[in-house]
Structure 1
């Protein structure tokens, strides 16, 4: 793993490195074959110069990447699509982009994403899929929808990959690529200037290389200071929901997750399995497509009427599910979500955090989920079935936190020789600091096993 943001900042402030040197190395990484497909637009020359006095700013003049759905002044915001490729340029930076720049971050490019952020797989038929840098056997998916954000960070082209998380779009690629992805409580970061998928569930957040980098990135994006006061492990009570979230784990993920639980128990933490029956009602809440389908259809309906054939068919299918939702069904969903959150808060209130595998699988091969090409209808149907089955599994665990209006962090828990697996530390709204503190302690427990 390339050195993290905090280590690099310390090297700059100690005089062992300069911001331009670090930025130059990142730009070289961005041009490398491994990272090339991570960017839909890569910036060069005067566009990637550290600001004056960068070394004294929180991000120190170091590189960050921006998911293609955020406004950058003077550029269109295509969101990984063809239909918005020639849209009018943004008048100003999205607040999240502006905050990164004000903190000394240098934007090195716009990153690959699932079209309109509507899948956890990370494929997009309009652009070549960036292969997961952690896989050396066969090309594997990076996860999505913030696919390029993850690959840019994993390859060393950026220290912070700005993205969005509506059902896991930060945590899924972080888990599959061996990175850290923090989804804060949604209200803590501004979503203006980011093309919406679901105004109810969207969260602006980032992928980093370590938990401490995630803390710094969150402080910049939220404009708040995170408490660093960690409680001793023996004082922590951690819940492991057994309903659904532990189903269908592949061998690598199951082994890595049990390893984490064992380390926490050996450190003195109380780790308890909890049924959390309320999770059984979640699929019923979203049977008609949920918030994402209804709210994305409201945004896309005019474009679909005039340019629907230019959409990714898999994305279009999911958006158009929202066309059939009636007003009373949407209002019932809002009400039912409030009641479900109350049930979850009652069931989890006695725990300092919950622990789950971020996703139940390691990254599958890209070829198994390739878009339909029209040459063999039977093969196309099989790939579509595999895609939607994989997408549902990838979204299953992380999407719980979005519906909960909660916060969660995925951190890598695999060891050398294994494909990446992530553990998710999570809880309800505004428990962000506690979740980050526990993740930091778990990262330290895992470090010797992971070779750090």
Structure 2
């Protein structure tokens, strides 16, 4: 067990460089010398009894779409390599540095964060921490693997349709998506201006809560688990439970039984009408695709050959929409959010599988567009609801799962971040106990 921050860092660097590991695919850039200086500074502070924050001395990774002063932000693409270097750190990176974090490197990701799978044709695909032949989940693919394999205590990611919670679920760690707007997205290459959230992947809910406070610019707070007895949890059965793998269904239902025995009040709630209205409103193009088309308008056609073809295909769907389509969708979304808040007002959280399937084989999805699109749709289906309806959400590993990890998602109304983290801490304790 590492006794100093420097020891922890050296262990991480050694594992990343191990020929038996694909650490050089999980990470797209390493900062060994700067990280060693940061680790030594953290150890010196510890000897003096000085602690900058609860995160002081943590060895962490950051997704390759956050600006770091003096280097180009590539966002998992080859197109951005020729862009100017960032002049300053993204505010989130600056806050983590000020908190005393040791940044070991930048992690791989789906190109432009536009996939729930995690395959990247430019920089390689990190193998799932549980089975290297399987996908890591996207778009924060390397972040999930870095935490699950122990090369980072926390991986900083982004979540537009599930990109924190999906890799957390598939790799067996915890992933927290805060309410959009809670953490600044400045200096993080955008996918959707309205839906992007910045948050942590970590081994525990407590580590996610501590990180979230730093990212949000809040004072540290004590994470006291909420009482499980009387907790009002609801299962939104219907389309969000379709095409579910038997192993995922079994793991979820077993987790529900545990919660029921612990005194949680578990009911069912229907949101099918709201989900259908949303689907109808996005028949022309998904919200995220429309906004992505605006982000990439400058090079969408002139650099078409340089895109991951599957990413470009999704962006082009958004480009087919016209301004009235977007305006109508924005207004419809606002109305649906208000109705959803009314529908869930008497509940503490919704619970459901983070993803209805476990991690598929990388080779199967690279070889078949049909299998890729099917898997991508299923990966994103349950999590995207939270982004569209401005929920806060968290994915925890289901207990007693043999083989590939399964994610258990809790999601609550926007603004209930602390409350959700307290509930998740209680559920985590139950699952681990």
User: 1:418: how far off?
Assistant: 2.8
Residue 185 of structure 1 pairs with residue 179 of structure 2: yes
Instruction: State whether structure 2 residue 226 is matched by structure 1 residue 258.
Output: no
Which position in structure 2 is the counterpart of 1:19? 5
- Please give the alpha-carbon distance, in whole angstroms, between the structure 2 residues aligned to 1:233 and 1:46: 44
Counterpart secondary structure, 2:351: strand
C-alpha displacement of 1:300: 0.9
Equivalent residue pairs, number:
421
* Contact 1:93/1:193, CA 8 A, preserved across alignment: yes
Name the residue aligned to 2:240: 245
Residue in structure 2 matching 1:150, options 125, 140, 144: 144
Partner of 1:85: 81
- Alignment partner of 1:128 is 2:133: no
Is this contact kept in 1: 2:228–2:427, CA < 8 A? Answer: no
**Residue 384 of structure 1 is aligned with which of 353, 362, 369?**
369
Checking the alignment, whether the CA contact within 8 Å between 2:226 and 2:426 is kept in structure 1 is no
Q: Secondary structure at the match of 2:181?
A: helix
Residues 367-406 of structure 1: matches in 2 within 5 Å?
367-370=363-366, 383-406=368-391
Shift of 1:49: 2.3
- Superposed, which structure 2 residues align to 1:205-220 within 5 Å? 205-220=199-214
Offset at residue 445 of structure 1 (A): 0.9
State the shift of 1:369 in Å.
0.6
Shift of 1:428: 1.4
User: Residue 228 of structure 1: which of 218, 223, 227 is its match?
Assistant: 223
Residues 226 and 279 (structure 1), Cα distance of their counterparts in 2 relative to 1, 3 Å cut: farther
Which residue pairs with 1:357 in the alignment? Answer: 353
User: Do the aligned residues in 1 keep the contact of 2:56 with 2:100 (CA within 8 Å)?
Assistant: yes
Q: How big is each residue's C-alpha offset from its partner over 1:98-146, in whole Å with a ceiling of 9 and x where there is no partner? A: 11111111111111100000000000111221110112xx600000000
| Alignment equivalent of 2:275, drawn from 264, 279, 300 | 279
Answer whether contact 2:62 2:156 (CA < 8 A) is retained. yes
Equivalent residue number for residue 417 of structure 2: 432
**How far off is 1:315 after superposition?**
0.4
Indicate the residue corresponding to 1:422 in structure 2: 407
Give deviations 1:358-385, integer Å, cap 9, x for gaps: 0001101111111xxxxxxxxx6xx111
Do the aligned partners of 1:294 and 1:322 also contact (CA within 8 Å) in 2?
yes
Work out the CA distance in 1 between the residues paired with 2:171 and 2:325.
Answer: 38
Task: List alignment gaps of at least 5 residues for structure 1.
Answer: 1-7, 9-15, 371-379
Greater Cα offset, 146-155 or 270-279: 270-279
Which residue does the alignment assign to 1:74?
70
**Are 1:414 and 1:420, in contact at CA under 8 Å, matched by a contact in 2?**
no
TM-score, normalised relative to structure 1: 0.90
Q: In 2, distance between residues paired with 1:364 and 1:324?
A: 31
Report the Cα offset of residue 282 of structure 1: 2.4
Q: Provide the aligned C-alpha RMSD in A.
A: 1.6
Structure 1 contact 414–422 (Cα < 8 Å) conserved: no
CA distance in structure 1 between the partners assigned to 2:343 and 2:319 by the alignment: 34
- The Cα of 1:47 is off from its aligned counterpart by 4.4
Distance between the aligned counterparts of 1:50 and 1:440, measured in 2?
30
**CA pair 39-231 structure 1, distance change in 2 beyond 3 A:** closer
CA displacement 1:407-429 (0-9 Å, x = unmatched): 00000004252310001010111
Q: Deviations over 1:199-222 (max 9, x none)?
A: 010001111111111111111111
Give how far 1:226 is off. Answer: 4.8
Secondary structure at 2:395's aligned position in 1?
Answer: strand
Q: 1:171: which partner in 2?
A: 165
Which residue number in structure 1 is paired with residue 135 of structure 2?
A: 141
- How far does residue 299 in structure 1 lie from its aligned partner after superposition? 1.6
In structure 2, the residue corresponding to 1:272 is in which secondary structure? strand
Structure 2 residue matching 1:140: 3-state secondary structure? coil
Q: Distance in 2 between matches of 1:26 and 1:419?
A: 24
Residue 40 of structure 1 corresponds to which residue in structure 2? 28
- What is the CA–CA distance in structure 2 between the aligned matches of 1:40 and 1:368, rounded to whole Å? 24
Show the 5 A alignment for 1:406-417.
406-415=391-400, 417=402
Give the stretch that moved more between structures: 227-236 or 195-204.
227-236
